[in-house]
Amino acid sequence: MKSIATERRRLDTLRTLNRKSRDDAFGLEDLDWSRGVDRAKPWEPEGLGALWFLPSFGSLTPPERLRCNQLHALGVCEQFV
């Protein structure tokens, strides 16, 4: 059974998180849509990719690794859309 103090801390933490999310929120009109996509950079940390842990991933060339990274990042974005 949770104590009242534990529940209060949990609610305080939740309130803080909600407040911060409101404070940091932005609308679509706040984005600079004129900026292009930099295809020379990875779009997510490599460790988040689906294949980075496979031995064969290490045999990919740097451009292949980059493209794999970008395609996985796009897949993650599509899941949210």
pLDDT digits (tens, 9 = 90+) for 27-51: 989 989 899 999 999 999 988 888 8
Percent pLDDT > 90 in the chain is 53
The predicted model scores a pTM of: 0.63
User: What's the mean pLDDT in 13-32?
Assistant: 90
* pLDDT above 90 (res 78): yes
Question: What pLDDT was estimated at residue 22?
Answer: 92
Q: Which of 80, 49, 76 is nearest to 64 (CA)?
A: 49
CA dist 19 and 56 (Å) reads 45
CB atoms within 10 A of CB 24: 7
Residues 6+ apart with CB under 8 A from 52: 46
Which residues, other chains included, contact 49 with Cβ-Cβ below 8 Å and sequence gap of 6+? Answer: 68, 69, 72
15, two tokens = 């309130």
Q: Is the pLDDT of residue 21 over 80?
A: yes
Average pLDDT value for residue range 51-64: 92
